[in-house]
Structure 1
Amino acid sequence: MAKYSIDLQVGKVKESEASSTIGETIVGIDLGTTNSLVAIVKDGIAQAVAGPDNKNVLVPSLIHFAEDGSVLVGDEARPFLTTHPERTIYSVKRLLGKSYGDLSTFEDRFGYRIIDENEDRLVKIAVPTADGKDDRYYSPVELSAQILKTLKARIEQELGTPVSRAVITVPAYFNDSQRQATRDAGKLAGLDVLRIVNEPTASSLAYGIGLKDEDEGQTIAVYDLGGGTFDVSILRIEQGIFEVMATNGDTFLGGDDFDQAIVDYLTETYSLNLASPGLRGSIRLLAERAKKALSTQNSYSEDFHGTSLTIDRITVDSLFEPLIARTLASCGSALKDAELEKADIDHVIMVGGSTRVPAVQRAVTEFFGKAVNNTLDPDQVVALGAAIQADVLAGNQKDVLLLDITPLSLGIETVGGLMDPIIARNSKVPTRVGRKYTTSVDGQKNLKVAVYQGERDLVADNRKLGEFVLSDIPPMAAGIPQIEIQFYLDADGILRVKAMEHRSGQSQTVTIKSQYGITEEEMAEMLIDSITNAETDVAQRALVEARNEATNVLLSARKFLKQNESWLTEEQVAAITGYNDRLEAAVKGDDKDAINGRLQELNDYTTPLAHEALDRNVAAAIRDEQV
């Protein structure tokens, strides 16, 4: 197998045949919205790994938190969707890297509680505890890690040996935040994520396109309609090189929306009362059964709490039509971005369980003007491709080009001493990545940018490469400045960092070289530490983030009291002050769930008052305008 050695300037990876790693297993994982699965290449053949029953390779992406504190994943969690929906999490992939503002309009679709009234912050999921006291708060990363742990245990049971390295796939349309969240979930599950691979690239590999001489010089379209996400990618494959020419799609469009369309139709047609989360969960499962049945039959009926529900294929085709039209619009946009015509496409590959819907297959065939390729199981194709990519990384495939990569993440220090990775480990080089930040203090004129290398969540556990100061920022309120940090890692492993405040145009650029060489042994130790301490790191990060958020909210609450003291009653002032004091006390402790609980209490009380303040300001502005 191939071994990777390190160029000491930040860490360019080069392939060397000098030595090999014996007995190493790298697995491919499809972390899906509806189902997840793990695959390996065995005797040259990619195959998905079944569970102990040796039947089903799919693990439903469901997590249930039982009253006794145990965690159930997969089929074991399914019965609780209707009996305990508030503690049973599904479609968590849709939540990765998302803010409350992204999801607030879809909140009523979930049986569990999504919280965070600050629209710009990442969501949290509140799970009631058995004693009914403080909720437990989980991030989508922690929940995804539970699914990955189950897949890791499955493959280890199959092989009879520990597995710690993986390739994980994501939709091509996933942004940097969603990709980083996927990496973090892998790390928390005890996996060294060697690559985050786009699902269309993985599916192309599964079909063998680009691995055979006769398929060289092909342009393909990958239509990927999963449970929660849709994307279409146009790829050019030549001499083993996979180039994504264009991608388009929607990270919030998939089979779940097809199910919801059926739910909405049945609810309206039969005047169903879905007041409880349990009933909403039951009708959602019924809709899923109807969708699957109507892929092979013309009508479907089922009793729902004493009401006989019936729906036919013609009806669902009409319900699905606007959703399918949205996917085809994305296909047209991708072709336009790639500067291609439909006739330029050699293959159309269908990926994702939702492509089994006959109306989808007909529409895609008609759009591209050629028969679609759906000969492989659409639920397995991505995982099979990930396994092939893993086999390439293990050095067992010599005909597919792997571009040079950086072996350790590069990022900056943020509030609370957190490491925010900007260029993730194993990113291809050269690469350029930018991310926007802002100030945390009113009137802040200078911003220190400290650059670190490593995989731990706290900068104290990583290596510092250098720092510089972006100065002369015009004084503004905290959160107003728009500061973009750009990392450019060139083909020689040299990192250039640029910071720019967009409103003023102030900028600063530095070239950073590693202050000391990192040996292969040191790099391996850093990676092992990141996996070993993943759970502790995530807990520390969650605590720091909760404290940071609470500090910001406390500052806002104090400003609110001062700015609105003219109309707030003594009781309201006393209540807000009391909530502030309780939150301040929680911040001094080490219980992030207690902080989140006190934070939620303050948000719940002050949100109506904030709306009233806004109404008063609007009314005052109108009066001034009339005068």
Structure 2
Amino acid sequence: MSTPPILGIDLGTTNSLVGVVDSGFPILLADEHGSRSTPSAVCVAADGSVSVGAVALRQRALHPTRTITSVKRLIGRRPGEAGWAPPYSLSELQTSPVEVSAEILKHLKEVAERALEQSVSQAVITVPAYFNDAQRNATKRAGELAGLEVLRILSEPTAAALAYGLDKLAEHQKIAVYDLGGGTFDISVLEMREGTFQVLSTAGDTQLGGDDLDRLLAGYIAQKLGLSPDDIRVVEAAEAVKKRLSAEDTAAYNGLEITRGELDKIARPWIERTRIHCLRALSDAGVKPEELDEVILVGGSTRMPLVRTYVREIFGREPNTSQNPDEAIALGATIQAGILGGSLRQVLLLDVTPLSLGIETFGGLMNIIIPRNTTIPAKAGEMFTNAVANQDSMLIRILQGERELAKDNWELGRIEVPFPAGPKGSARVGVQFSIDADGILHVLARDTATNQDTTLEIRGTAVDVADERVEQMIAESVDFAFEDMNERIWTEAKLKAEELLPAVDAALEQLGDAISDEDKAAVVSQAAAVRALLNAAEHDAKALKTATQALDDATQSLAVMLIDRAMEESLARRGLV
């Protein structure tokens, strides 16, 4: 890019994202670890040094009073006005919500500059629709403090509507945007006429989000296990259990099995708090639920089945879930940034991908990079690593289809990426798929250590597929859906088990007599159960997952002992003990 692009930024309560318009279409940018999502966390060390994102979040268990999260709940408010008491004191840390937000924005700016290999200085930043002037101005000041000229403060529901493509509809439309994120809830009713947006009403709660459900679930877990609900490790475990229960019926922590029904019972009063805001927004807009053309979901908490069921009950219609709820606002901000910069004025979206495009991953699974029915031009990518030690190259098979296993999809081509041999997980290979307006698929694979690129161009076959072949592939994906999903779940469980067992054996050998006979017998028994399931004639994925989780829980004390021993040895080498 010759002219620096304008950044689109979702400055979220829990996570933040940044994107740009590149070659005429919006993309979200990943950091050096391949992650598009940056935790909205800042850790202020005792010496005054600052870390941001995942690095800061990892400090929370050790330094809860120095790790700042959910600062969006505080920005633009006077002390005590937010009605929420964080576990840290900004005054004691000698910082402010604006300065903390600026550190997050500065980090996102650095992510963009690293990815684009050029400086950027302008941005569009989103805020909840109900943010007042003080909150909006504080967000703008944070951007300026981070070295960004904030061209526009964009309401999140408008950004979400842009991401869903609702601005392209010529006819008169009324939509509701139900945005339940990590720390805030926002419900807005919008009217669109020939691409022009008007917010008819908005309501919400700055102190309601997925973080609150995490604390409720943590209290439930703590009560069952006799732990402290304020222990950050319990809260983090509760978040992990909550996410797992969005896709599975049960989840376990420290020997406690929790069902989705139990979570729903805990979550029902929490989700019920959104009802009054939804009814108020509809009443203020003068719109009945049946008069809405769309109800779109935004925010990671809307992945929960209970939330989707609840939205269906309130609005009397199936919600639109066609976009990634975690990324919709950032994508919309990026589109708005592209419009302001003029880079989207001449965009012509000609076609869609008829079938999903992806690559084969370890275990023979299909990893989708560009989903079916994605509008082109399109670009997406992910970061991959070596699955075994001393691997010196990666064979990338480019696949097309809707089946779970790589062998059941069509191979479009393959490329091999060399990289220096090293331990398992040491290599970092970025794979990017890009389809231009002519339907040509460009595959780029980059070894991040050497910056060496390997490319492949696939003409026509990515988009130009005979209708009968598409119908055949989709029909097979439906016919074999149950068997395919079972095999994927089994394969993923098998890979996790095969990774865990050698680590357990090594830990037992390393600790030797330091572990009690009782604990050792429990671990050995759990490991034997996992091995038995791996060697069984029938693939019982659920039983294997349960046994592997039980083994993982049983070895938590071993992990702590190994860490303590490593620290003692390190201190001894430095002469500190």
| TM-score, with length taken from structure 1 | 0.54
The match for 2:542 is: none
Q: Is 1:220–1:346's contact at 8 Å kept on the other side of the alignment?
A: yes
| Contact 1:112–1:125 (Cα < 8 Å) also in 2 | no
For 1:540-598, what per-residue CA distance to the aligned partner results, in whole angstroms no more than 9, with x for missing partners? Answer: xxxxxxxxxxxxxxxxxxxxxxxxxxxxxxxxxxxxxxxxxxxxxxxxxxxxxxxxxxx
Matches within 5 A, 1:225-624: 225-273=180-228, 280-303=231-254, 308-398=255-345
Equivalent pair of 1:240/1:399 in contact (CA under 8 Å): no
**Equivalent in the alignment of 1:419:** none
- What residue identity is the alignment partner of 2:210? G
Paired position in structure 2 for 1:42: 22
The match for 1:141 is: 98
Paired residues of 2:4 and 2:119 also in contact (CA < 8 A):
no
- Aligned-residue offset at 1:22: 7.1
Cα deviation for residue 397 of structure 1 reads 4.1
- Structure 1 residue 111 corresponds to structure 2 residue 111: no
User: Counterpart amino acid of 1:382?
Assistant: I
Select the residue among 202, 211, 230 that pairs with 2:159: 202
- Report the Cα distance in structure 2 between the residues aligned to 1:281 and 1:73, rounded to whole angstroms: 18
Counterpart for residue 90 of structure 1: 69
Equivalent residue letter for 1:325: E
Secondary structure, counterpart of 1:343 in structure 2: helix
Whether the aligned pair in 2 keeps the contact of 1:299 and 1:313 (CA below 8 Å) is yes
Residue 156 of structure 1 pairs with residue 113 of structure 2: yes
Q: Deviations over 1:68-104 (max 9, x none)?
A: 4321111111221101111111111111122333345
Name the CA distance, whole Å, in 1 between partners of 2:161 and 2:82.
31
Taking structure 2 as the reference length, the TM-score comes to 0.58
Partners of 2:315 and 2:124 in 1: CA distance: 31
Deviation string 1:475-514 (CA, Å, 9 cap, x unpaired) is xxxxxxxxxxxxxxxxxxxxxxxxxxxxxxxxxxxxxxxx
Shift of 1:311: 2.2
**Counterpart-to-counterpart distance in 1, 2:338 and 2:204:** 29
With 166-175 and 264-273 compared, the bigger mean Cα shift is at 264-273
* 1:218 counterpart (162, 173, 178): 173
- Distance in 2 of aligned mates of 1:184 and 1:284: 32
The answer to whether the aligner puts 1:181 opposite 2:138 as a matched pair is yes
Shift of 1:112: 1.6
The change in CA–CA distance for 1:68 and 1:100 in structure 2 (over 3 A counts) is closer
Distance 1:273 1:322, change over 3 A: closer
Query: Quick check: 1:170 aligned with 2:127?
Result: yes
How much has 1:159 moved relative to structure 2? 1.1
Q: Shift of residue 371 of structure 1?
A: 1.2
Q: Does the 8 Å CA contact 2:21/2:343 hold for their aligned counterparts?
A: no
Identify which of 73, 79, 84 aligns with 2:58: 79
- The answer to whether the Cα contact below 8 Å between 1:225 and 1:354 also exists between their aligned partners in 2 is yes
- 1:193 match: secondary structure: strand
Kindly provide the CA deviation profile for residues 106-145 of structure 1, in whole angstroms up to 9, marking residues without a partner as x: 32xx3322xxxxxxxxxx4422xxxxxxxxx110000000
Q: Sequence identity, in percent?
A: 47
In structure 2, C-alpha distance between the alignment counterparts of 1:353 and 1:86, rounded to whole Å: 26
In 1: Cα distance, 2:116 partner to 2:225 partner: 51
Residue 100 of structure 1 aligns to a residue whose secondary structure is: coil
The Cα of 1:398 is off from its aligned counterpart by: 4.7
CA–CA separation in structure 2 for the residues paired with 1:23 and 1:166: 14
Task: Give the partner amino acid of 2:166.
Answer: I
> Does residue 32 of the first structure (1) align with residue 12 of the second (2)?
yes
| Alpha-carbon contact 1:27-1:387 (below 8 Å) kept | yes
Give the drift of 1:182.
Answer: 0.4
The residue type equivalent to 2:239 in the other structure is E
1:242 and 1:47 map into 2 onto residues whose CA distance is 23
Instruction: Describe the superposition over 1:196-238 as per-residue Cα deviations: whole angstroms up to 9, x where unpaired.
Output: 000000010011112243xx31111100001100011100011
Deviation at 1:158, TM superposition (A): 1.1
Give 1:167 shift.
0.2
Distance 1:399 1:184 in 2: 33
Higher relative contact order (CA 8 A, sep 6+): 1
Letter in 1 for 2:105: L
Segments of 5+ residues of structure 2 without an aligned counterpart are 348-577
Q: CA deviation at 1:288?
A: 0.5
Quote the residue 1:457 is aligned against.
Answer: none
The letter for the 1-side match of 2:77 is K
Deviations along 1:369-390, one digit per CA (max 9) or x if unpaired, are 1111112111111011001111
- Per-residue deviation, 1:260: 1.4
More displaced, 387-396 or 62-71? 62-71
Kindly provide the amino acid, as one letter, of the partner of residue 238 in structure 1.
Answer: R
Shift of 1:310: 3.4
CA contact (8 A) 1:301 1:309 kept: yes
Q: Is the 8 A contact 2:24 2:344 kept in 1?
A: no
* Deviation of 1:321 (Å): 0.9
Q: SS at the partner of 1:182?
A: helix
Give the match for residue 46 of structure 2.
67
SS in 2 for 1:101: coil
Paired letter, 1:169: T
Q: Report if the CA contact (8 A) 2:42-2:52 is conserved.
A: yes
Q: Does the 8 A contact of 1:211 with 1:399 survive in 2?
A: no
Distance in structure 1 (CA, Å) of the matches to 2:336 and 2:140 = 17
Deviations along 1:380-405, whole A, 9 cap, x unmatched? Answer: 110110011111111234599xxxxx
* Residue identity in the other structure for 1:293: R
Q: Distance in 1 between matches of 2:82 and 2:192?
A: 36
Structure 1 runs not aligned, ≥5 long: 1-20, 114-123, 128-136, 401-627
SS at match of 2:231: helix
Tell me how far apart the structure 2 counterparts of residues 242 and 103 of structure 1 sit (CA, whole Å). 30
* Partners of 1:24 and 1:394 within 8 A in 2: no
Query: Are the counterparts in 2 of residues 111 and 281 from structure 1 also a CA contact under 8 Å?
Result: no
Cα distance in 2 between the residues matched to 1:346 and 1:377: 20
AA in 2 matched with 1:230:
F
